[in-house]
Amino acid sequence: MTIDLHSETRPCGVDAASAAARRVIDALVGSGDMTDADMADIADRLNAVADDLEETAPSRNDRLVNMWVGDGNTRHDPVTGPENPIAPPLEYVGVDSHTIEATTTLGLPYQGPPSSVHGGVSALLLDHTLGVANGWAGTSGMTAELTLRYHRLTPLFEPLTITARQISVDGRKIRTEGAIRTGGEDCVTAEGLFIAKHPPRPR
């Protein structure tokens, strides 16, 4: 099978700039006010980068159409997109015909409780992973209902395995499960009901 579970990160272009932006995000949250860095200068330099990017950016409508051509959302989504500095980004592998997984380690920008992943960030990663598992299994759709159970704190700075498996397809109803685990223990589990429909791509 050659379904793309995620887009490969390229070593150049917007992917390299987004990887650098991730370093900036991590360093800003890691610094806060505990730094001698000249934050006014840092802000000026970042605003200058934004100015230069905005000056040459396509119109929003052109970009909205273009970003759904080809790979679709996998280049830019907030979980796996190499173009999106918010994305960790996750990189999935197929485990069996209905199951995928990714391994990642999250840092301070994703913190909820002390030294732990924000419960809502876990929800974000799981919602996306369940959706991609549906595509991998052959029938995907839109999230209708998602239930998350939090079993123990999910640690920052330690490798997490994020997995999802499509359980059943009944007419347009798709049921999918997933988990975030560390050291073999469930931290968060998820059950999703998806409906097999897709909104139109922008033209």
Taking CB under 8 A as the criterion, which residues in 86-145 touch a copy of itself?
86, 108-116, 118-121, 123-128, 131, 142-145
Largest CA distance in the chain: 60
Cβ-based nearer residue to a copy of itself, 14 or 95: 14
Q: How far is the CB of 171 from a copy of itself (least distance, A)?
A: 18
Q: How far is the CB of 142 from a copy of itself (least distance, A)?
A: 7
Beta carbons of 54 and 47 less than 8 angstroms apart: no
Cβ-based nearer residue to a copy of itself, 157 or 168: 157
Establish if 85 lies at the interface with a copy of itself (CB under 8 A).
yes
Among residues 164, 160, 174, 6, the alpha carbon closest in space to that of 100 is found at 164
Instruction: Compute the half-sphere exposure of residue 108: CA atoms within 13 Å on the CB side of its CA.
Output: 10
Establish if 174 lies at the interface with a copy of itself (CB under 8 A).
no
Establish if 58 lies at the interface with a copy of itself (CB under 8 A).
yes
What whole-number distance in Å separates Cα of residue 195 and Cα of residue 175? 9
